[in-house]
Amino acid sequence: MSNYRIHGATGEWEVVIGLEVHAQVTTNAKLFSGASTAFGAEPNTQVSLVDAAMPGMLPVPNRECIRQAVRTGMAIEAQINKWSRFDRKNYFYADLPQGYQISQLYHPIVGEGQLLIEADEKAGIPEDKVIGIERIHVEQDAGKLMHDQHPTMSYVDLNRTGVALMEIVSRPDMTSPAEAGAYIRKLRAILRYVGSCDGNMEEGSMRADVNVSVRKVGDTELGTRTETKNVNSVRFVMQAIEHEVQRQIDVIEDGKKIVQETRLFDPGTGTTRSMRSKEDAHDYRYFPDPDLLPLILDEAFLDECRASLPELPDAKRTRYENDLGLTPYNARELTAEVETFGRFETLLGVAAKTLGKPEAEVATQVANWSLSVAPGVAKSLGDEANMANATAQRQAAILAMQDKGEISGGQAKEIYEIVLKEGREPDEIAETEGLKQVSDTGAIESAVDDILANNQDKVEQYRGGKDKLFGFFVGQTMKAMQGKANPAVVNQILKDKLG
Amino acid sequence: MTDFTQMGLKAIREGVAAGDFTAREVAEAHNDAVAAASELNAFIVATPDHALAAADKVDADRAAGKELGPMAGVPIGMKDLFATKGVQSTAASHILEGFVPPYESTVSQNLWDAGAGMLGKLNMDQFAMGSSNETSYFGNVKSPWRKNGSNAAMTPGGSSGGSSAAVAARLCPAATGTDTGGSIRQPAAVTGITGIKPTYGRCSRWGVVAFASSLDQAGPMARSVEDCAIMLGAMAGFDPKDSTSIDAPVPDWAAALDADLSGKTIGIPREYHMDGIDPQIEASWEQGKEWLRDAGAKVVEISLPHTKYALPAYYIIAPAEASSNLARYDGVRYGLRDLPEGSGLQDMYAATRAEGFGDEVKRRILIGTYVLSAGFYDAYYTQAQKVRTLVQRDFTEAFAQVDAILAPTTPNAAFALGEMQDDPLAMYLNDVFAVPASLAGLPAMSVPATLTQDGLPLGLQIVGKPMDEQGVLNAGLAIEQRAGFTAQPEKWW
């Protein structure tokens, strides 16, 4: 259980949160027309006769949109409904050419599913938690009104009209802003793993309607909820919840009642404001769309959807821990984003081959490199880093040199820095720039001999039991070798000579 | 000199193909007839150039020895519900007045591809809502028929009233119609012509202005069963642009026409004997049974127990769908826009739709909005859908015993324009025999049977099994051959 509590004037409050996430399906064409879905095109250039709702035009479902919704459903372990149906949601607005949105109210394509959010002490999630997902249905997006084009008139851009959305409706299972944030991040990761949505919240590919209510700790009945529409980042979702929770508590403790209503989030102030109350809510007059037959999915289609699913975050994380021996932290970090695990797995493959070792043996080295060393170097370089230079082959070459003791950790970073800036090959950099450890025992031995001869007093003290002086000799040797000596070799020689 | 306007579709096609006359001569004769019949108000716009261009193409193709299509050289009328590229398409409404689509409906394109030409866009009840062609923004269509000894203007039926009037008046040998709850069959019956509504899904709805999507079906109206069979063949076919289109081959109905009904059983639904039906209708129905027996069929009584609920259910389902289908006419993108000075979006919607829709359309939008609204949905819409299922089941059970069903098409002959205008319920009753087949999506046709004592035509209706247009056409042919209906209206226009 979340321990998120708000101390009000009248006692302790807890929060109940449900999220409806709208995720734009990644396809080239709209849900019911062949028009393109590319983002950022000139207004009204991606509009078919169907999207503009010209007289006599008819919707035809785009198979790829249906396929992606089914694959998403499978990824959240949901029931897939072999029989589903489209309904019309009727209302008038200038961005809605048909005068109705084609959606699925009564028989959604995906039924009950679930998603796991992982324990994150720092974020206030003490243990793993399963969040229920009530349903996923597919529906059309609306167009966009533009109020800044003319002094007295509004313009409408229909490019987005008819683009396929998945509405993913959670159960009211979240009890803190952190859980809501974790839920969206996890959902986003799953969508991106599956490839059904690019998860780009800035471009509006993913946005959330946030349902929030509060109740006194110990109460079993739900409080009256409000719905804050179209919140488009994880941070904003958490902010909206925090604000809404405080507002609701203030209202109730003030002796007033929460009104069931739709609210808008203002990213500028981090607050929500009322949009419309239940009393003037639309009567959408839902009914089955008579232009469309029920959607019937056959086994072959479902089999194909299932077979095309990639390894999903939870399974991958478990495999990283159990088979690759990664720490839970590393496993979680690496599997959180498609790009991260993609880079990791590519590098792991190449590195294992380059080193001639099984993946499990090099995984920890590659994980540390991928999560901490490499990003650290790139970050310190800022704009100077050209990430296109960071090929898996080059990174693997660095890791191999390090593994063989040819270079030190510090040298690995230096070499990688040059790789990022100049795109040169690590082997050549190590040679040319002299970034190599000396493992030549002769050179080290002669350096050690000099140091021991020049520090007879310390040698006596060490031999007399002052073990700590060993570090002094290592440091002097490394200094004499200009930091390029292989520390293991230095240690061994020192131990031999000091006896 | 040959009077081309007296010729049927097949005769024209064959004459053109044989070189007895040119398609251009045929088109010119019909263009002249259309131009001379403005008093009937059957056309909203005439398109003589379209007809001539199509005819010239056929003549050129013939001269070049090319194969000619099944409608080659036949000029037809196009109901104004079909979108025709570059030609105003209004659904007889003010809200779409001046709307010129940049696309061609699938059905009309199929007809042009088959060699037909377009004489013009036919008047109709506004958005296909009406049974008398009195709801058109462009004025009533007058039937070419008159009662014996009367000059009163009569209804051509509706909603395909321009189509029925034009075909009956010999302005065109054939026309397209659409049938949602009888809009092909009822006007055909009251004007003495033949019309068939095929199985729902046979003809693509793409590019046809929607009234009630789950019911709308296009079909041909002509002066013989064979002409209807030929034209339906040209109109029908699977269309991937219409999700409700049936993916099945189109049979050559005309080639397979056969009036020998030996071995067939025809059902007579006892629930269609209703109080208040004109005795002349009953008599013609009796006559119809005799004709079918004469053609070799066995005639049996059947029961369609939910018949009386069909009409009320239809007047819930069709307006519900219409209220949503017509939401797109909002003044934003095309058609009429009424934007009063200083008004906002809601004001524009209200003004545009108040101005652009006629009374009957508004009535149905209101009914439809009401039956779908929260708190009423289950009591009306859900209940009506249940009735629809029961009506369909009635037919399924009946078709286990019989091959086709014979019934009157209408409860009365044509009435005078204005006679029923103040009584919408009486008007709705015109479709009482037509609606059940629409709810069940079945093929159904009307063929002329006889004239009343007043000299007005009556039709008989044949309803068939799903996809069995052939059975319907064959029974229709058997009646046609025995009815010997040759009457045509005396020209007064």
Percentage of chain B exceeding pLDDT 70:
100
Query: Average pLDDT of chain B?
Result: 97
Nearest CA-CA distance, residue A283 and chain B, Å: 6
Nearest neighbour of A90 by CB, restricted to B91, B210, B324:
B324
What is d(CA A462, CA A432) in angstroms, rounded to the nearest whole number? Answer: 39
Give, in order, the Cα–Cα distances in Å from A416 to each of A345, A354, A432: 19, 17, 14
Q: Which two tokens stand for residue A266?
A: 């203002």
When pLDDT is cut at 50, 70 and 90, the band that residue A247 belongs to is very high
Catalytic site positions of B? 79, 159, 183
Task: Place B201 in a pLDDT band, splitting at 50, 70 and 90.
Answer: very high
Beta carbons of A92 and B205 less than 8 Å apart: no
* A57 and B CB contact within 8 Å: yes
Q: Which among B267, B271, B279 is positioned nearest to B310, based on CA atoms?
A: B271
- Residue A479 is predicted with a pLDDT of 86
Instruction: Give the pair of three-digit tokens for residue B290.
Output: 């005799």
Paired with A128 in beta bridges are none
Contacts of B379 in chain A (CB under 8 A): none
Residue-level pLDDT at A460: 86
Pairing of strands A100-103, A87-90: antiparallel
Cα distances (angstroms) measured from residue A11 to each of A8, A16, A215, A221: 5, 17, 10, 17
Report residue A37's pLDDT band, with 50, 70 and 90 as the boundaries.
confident
Q: How far is B465 from chain A (nearest CA, A)?
A: 21
In sequence order, what E strands does A147-302 have?
155-157, 164-170, 206-216, 226-231, 261-266, 271-277, 287-288, 295-296
CA distance, residue B332 to nearest chain A CA (Å)? 7
Q: What is the pLDDT of residue B290?
A: 98
Contact B80, B44 (CB under 8 A): yes
Stretch B228-253: mean pLDDT, rounded? 98
Is it the case that residue A495 has pLDDT exceeding 70? Answer: yes
Residue to mutate among A285, A292, A295, with most B CBs inside 10 A, is: A285
Average pLDDT over residues B15-36: 98
Tokens of B212: 């009630």
pLDDT at A94 over 90: yes
- pLDDT (0 to 100) of residue B427: 87
Asked if A55 is an interface residue toward chain B (Cβ–Cβ < 8 A), one would say yes
Q: A58–B372: do the CB atoms touch at under 8 Å? A: no
Top-confidence residue, A436 or A43: A43
pLDDT band at A436 (very low <50, low <70, confident <90, very high): confident
Q: What is the pLDDT of residue A492?
A: 84
| Whole-number Å distance between alpha carbons of A17 and A240 | 11
Contacts of A93 in chain B (CB under 8 A): 345
A292 touches chain B (CB under 8 A): yes
Residues paired with A136 in a beta bridge? A110, A168
- Say how many residues make up chain A: 499
For position A494, what pLDDT does the model report? Answer: 85
Under 8 Å between Cβ of B352 and B337? yes
With contacts defined as CB-CB under 8 Å, which chain B residues touch A49? 102-103
Q: Does residue A372 have a cis bond before it (omega within 30 degrees)?
A: no
Q: Is B462 helix (H, G, I), strand (E, B) or coil?
A: strand
SS3 of B231-266: the string is: HHHHHCCCCCCCCCCCCCCCCCCCCCCCCCCCCCEE
Overall average pLDDT of the B259-275 stretch: 95
Contact between chains at B377 and A94 (C-beta distance less than 8 A):
no
Tell me which chain A residue has its CA closest to the CA of residue B211.
A56
Q: What is residue A44's predicted lDDT score, i.e. its pLDDT?
A: 94
Q: Do B332 and A156 touch (CB under 8 A)?
A: yes
Q: Is the pLDDT of residue A3 over 80?
A: no
Picking from A56, A286, A287, the nearest residue to B207 by CB comes out as: A56
Partner B contacted by A291 (CB < 8 A)? yes
Where would I find the H helices in A215-358? 234-253, 299-307, 313-322, 328-335, 338-355
Contacts of residue A157 in chain B, CB cutoff 8 Å? Answer: none
State which amino acid sits at residue A429. Answer: I
Token pair 């069909």: residue: B310
A56 DSSP assignment: T
What's the pLDDT score for residue A1?
Answer: 54
pLDDT at B276 over 80: no
Q: What's the pLDDT at B341?
A: 86
Question: Mean pLDDT of all residues in chain A?
Answer: 92
Can you tell me the mean pLDDT for A126-145? Answer: 96
Task: Say if CB A194 and CB A71 are below 8 A apart.
Answer: yes
Q: Which residues of A are less than 8 Å from B333 in CB distance?
A: 52-54, 97
Task: Report which of residues A278 and A378 the model is more confident about.
Answer: A378
State the Cα angle at B289 between B283 and B294, rounded to 5°.
130
pLDDT in tens, B399-424: 999 999 999 999 999 999 999 888 88
Binning pLDDT at 50, 70 and 90, where does residue B342 land?
confident
More confident residue, B41 or A447: B41
Residues of B with CB under 8 A from a CB of A: 82-83, 89, 91, 96, 99, 101-103, 105, 205-210, 212-214, 240-244, 320-321, 323-324, 326-328, 330, 332-334, 345-346, 349, 369, 372-374, 377, 381
Question: Chain-centre distance of CA A70, in angstroms?
Answer: 21
Q: Confidence class of residue A455 from pLDDT cuts 50, 70 and 90?
A: confident
**Partner-chain contact A92 B241, CB within 8 Å:** no
Using CB atoms, pick whichever of A100, A154, A287 lies closest to residue B327: A100
Per the CB < 8 Å rule, is A53 touching B333? yes
Least-confidence region, from A380-384, B107-111, B161-165: A380-384
Distances (CA, A) of B116 to A184, B9, B80, B400: 59, 10, 16, 39
Which residue on chain A is closest to B102 by alpha carbon? A49
pLDDT, tens only, B287-323: 999 999 999 999 999 999 999 999 999 999 999 999 9
- What's the pLDDT band for A486 if we cut at 50, 70, 90? confident
Q: Which of A55, A58, A98 sits opposite B242 (nearest CB)?
A: A58
Over residues B430-437, the mean pLDDT reads: 95
Q: Residue B1: is its pLDDT beyond 80?
A: no
